């Protein structure tokens, strides 16, 4: 089954997110379930999704990611973060992006998610860069 495209390629938030995600070693983008997904061998971020238990409720400008396990408990206490449908059992969280988002924080979250999902050789490349 083909999923409909649920994003605008020219969305300025997506453009900014791409700039942060695609500089990571061997990071690539593909469309999965109608949304941009950033990955190496495994996904480390998705743009857009729905909250756990409310799949009809779309958050088209949300960043879905897998946080550092040490940071996850604190992020779960932060009201900005929510559990995304289907991914929450694997420890993923989501945050809605806006033009006022702290993009340094977003870059740190992407870095942590990349490190949690990428092969060790790519993490070593990242650390050596």
pLDDT at 4: 92
pLDDT at 29: 98
Q: Using the structure block, give the residue that is written with the tokens 């729905």.
A: 50
Summarize the confidence of residues 16-27 as an average pLDDT: 98
Report which of residues 45 and 57 the model is more confident about.
45
pLDDT at 57: 83
Residue 60: burial class (beta carbons within 10 Å; 0-12, 13-18, 19+): middle
Instruction: State pLDDT tens for residues 78-119.
Output: 999 999 999 988 999 999 999 999 999 999 999 999 999 999
CB 21 within 8 A of CB 29: yes
What is the topology classification, in CATH, of domain 14-123? Answer: 3.90.1150
What is the reported pTM? 0.94
Q: How confident is the model at residue 14 (pLDDT cuts 50, 70, 90)?
A: very high
Nearest alpha carbon to residue 31 among 4, 64, 56: 4
Q: How confident is the model at residue 76 (pLDDT cuts 50, 70, 90)?
A: very high
């Amino acid at each position: 089954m083909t999923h409909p495209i649920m994003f605008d390629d020219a969305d300025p938030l997506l453009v900014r997110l791409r700039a942060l995600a695609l500089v990571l070693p061997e990071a690539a983008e593909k469309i999965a379930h109608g949304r941009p997904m950033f990955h190496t061998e495994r996904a480390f971020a998705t743009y857009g999704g729905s909250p756990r238990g409310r799949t009809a409720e779309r958050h088209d400008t949300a960043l879905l990611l897998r946080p550092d396990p040490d940071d996850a408990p604190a992020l779960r206490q932060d009201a900005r973060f929510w559990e995304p449908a289907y991914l929450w059992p694997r420890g993923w969280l989501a945050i809605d992006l806006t033009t006022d988002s702290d993009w340094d924080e977003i870059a740190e979250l992407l870095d942590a998610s990349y490190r949690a999902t990428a092969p060790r050789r790519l993490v070593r490349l990242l650390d050596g860069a």
